[in-house]
Each structure stands twice: as C-alpha cells, then as structure tokens.
Amino acid sequence: MLTQIKGLHHVTSMAADAQLNNDFFTKTLGLRRVKKTVNFDAPDVYHLYYGDEIGSPGSVMTYFPFPHIVKGSRGAGEVAETVFAVPSGSRGYWRQRLSTHGVANLREEESFGEKRLRFSGPDGDGFALAEVRDDARRAFNGGQVPPDDGVHGFHGVTMRLRDGGATGELLQYMGYEQVDRQGDLIRYAVKGGNGADFVDLEVLPGAASAQQGAGSVHHVAFAVENRAAQLEVRKALLDTGYHVTPVIDRDYFWAIYFRAPGGVLFEVATNEPGFDRDEDTAHLGEVLKLPRQHANLRSQLEQILPPIVD
C-alpha cells in the first residue's frame, strides 16, 4: 500500500464560457483565481485555476473553457460531484447566497452525517458544499465571501461507476481506507491528508455512460509532496500494471496520468513548486502566464483568447 498520497491536489473540468466560469468561481463561490494560463497541449484555450489564497493543493479547481463545446451529461465513469468544505453552520448563508446568484438545482441533503448543499455549476457541473467541523484550512480572505463562511478547499469527490470493485481496490492500494457506506455510496478516506481527504464511489450498475463536454470533470489529481514521492508512486503503479505517462512539467506542479478501472482519468501531482513560482502571492492570477514552450505565441494568443473582466 502506498503512503505518499496526501489527498486531492486539483480537479480539472471543462466549461463553455471563460467569463461565466470566472464569475461563478470568483464571485459566487468567492475563490481566488490563482493562475490565468493556457492549456499546455492546446494553447489557444485558457487554463484557469481557482483556489484558496495561494492555491494550496487540495483547494484548486481548474477549467479549460472551450468556446462552442457541447454540454456533457452526467453518467457512469466520471467524477459526478465535486464537494467543497465550508464551515459548520454556514449553510444558511450559502443557501441564501447561491439562490440570490440564481444557482441551479439547489437542494439541501445529508450524506454520511454531513449537511450538504448540492447545486449545479454554469454548465451543469455537479457540486456540493459540505459543512465540515474542525477544518484547519482557511478560506481566502480577500474575496467576495466573508472568510468565516468561505470555502476551505475540497472535501472530496464522488465518482459515479457501474462497478466500484476495481476502483475501490486501486484507492486502497493508493493509501485510502474504506471508512463508511450509505445506500449506493462507499466512502474512502486517506489518513494524514491535506483536508481534501475523501473519495466516495457511487455504484450504479445500470447507469448510462457519462458524455464528456462542458460541465464534465476531465480528471482528478491526487497530491504528493515532491518529485521523489511521485517517482515512487509511478513505479509502484507501473509494477501493478497501470499504464502511467512519463512525468510532465506543468510549470506549477509535475504530473503523471493514468486511467482508473472505472473510466476516470487520474493524475498524481506534486505540491512543488506551487503557483507563486512565477508570480508574487499578492498578484496571483492577474495576468496571462504562458509556459516557456508557448511564450513566442503571446501576441497571437492575446488576440484569440476572449478577454476576462474581473
């Protein structure tokens, strides 16, 4: 069993409109945009990162806004819901705030004894806020939500699968323990994590396959401290028979990717070097940052990429 994985690192999804996406995360949810860059593999598309003040691993929701992309549909083989942690007692504030902002499909539920507000993002993305007691992490102090009510980071993700067996085994191999069950849900948790410690599997044998598009999670990334830990994880996964990519430099972390048995794309990302690598903490996310390999495209990209008004 691996011991290097310390919870989630980031969740990456697709959107149809950069401005709506930016407004939803910075204005409605009160996160900080910690990086404005491009998709390294398709630089005519933004890659937007939202998180806490410094974009701590376990707080970072990232998006590729592809103009004209069709809407995805939720189904089996994907992360169906991304769950953020908010302080105990804050759901009244959030219910009011989200309804004032016209957020769709707002409903209150309880899951694993946690009070939750579930809702849809601008492209039908599945989200929830879960009230979490004693979360040592701190919300961004400087955004549009008072820090006493603010989002602390991820609580976890819910993957919808037709069969949870092989993915459950993989999670256990990655250091997660099965800690609870409720209806169709099986809860896994990692000890000593960064706070974004939960992965719930929703097992629905008859579910139709998810269709990827706007509002779909593209992949979920797990956190390791550094490159040495990442190489250990990579070797262990290769030895177990997973097809794992070589280490890829993403400027703000190093990444490896592999496909989990239920169809979800997994990444393992390093906590180093972080989002302050090329910007002052006070000014994270303000200007367009380009990776070295695309720096020569700046004037072209500034024409193509739609402006984002903050």
| Span interacting with Zn ion, options 12-20, 76-84, 222-230, 232-240, rule CB under 5 A | 12-20
> Smallest distance from the beta carbon of 155 to Zn ion, in angstroms?
19
> Smallest distance from the beta carbon of 222 to Zn ion, in angstroms?
10
Footprint of Zn ion on 134-173 (CB under 5 A): none
Of 255, 237, 256, 254, the C-alpha closest to 245 is 256
Q: Kindly report the CA angle at 105 between 22 and 52, in degrees rounded to 5? A: 35
Q: Per-residue x/- mask for Zn ion, residues 267 to 296, rule CB under 5 A? A: x-----------------------------
Q: Please check whether residue 76 is in contact with residue 263, taking contact to mean a CB–CB distance below 8 angstroms.
A: yes
Q: Please check whether residue 62 is in contact with residue 48, taking contact to mean a CB–CB distance below 8 angstroms.
A: yes
Taking the least distance from each CB to Zn ion, the nearer of 176 and 266 is 266
List 221, 237, 244, 268, residue binding Zn ion (CB under 5 A): 221
Taking the least distance from each CB to Zn ion, the nearer of 18 and 221 is 221
> Smallest distance from the beta carbon of 5 to Zn ion, in angstroms?
15
Distances (CA, A) of 242 to 150, 166, 245: 38, 12, 10
> Residue with structure tokens 């990776």?
291
> Smallest distance from the beta carbon of 200 to Zn ion, in angstroms?
20
In the Cβ-directed half-sphere of 198, how many Cα atoms lie within 13 Å?
25
Q: Binding of Zn ion at residue 111 (CB under 5 A)?
A: no
Of 39, 61, 11, 9, the C-alpha closest to 291 is 39
Residue type, 271: N
Q: Binding of Zn ion at residue 12 (CB under 5 A)?
A: yes
Q: Can you tell me whether residue 104 is helix, strand or coil? A: strand
Taking the least distance from each CB to Zn ion, the nearer of 79 and 145 is 79
Q: Binding of Zn ion at residue 13 (CB under 5 A)?
A: no
**Under the rule (CB under 5 A), what is the footprint of Zn ion?**
12, 221, 267
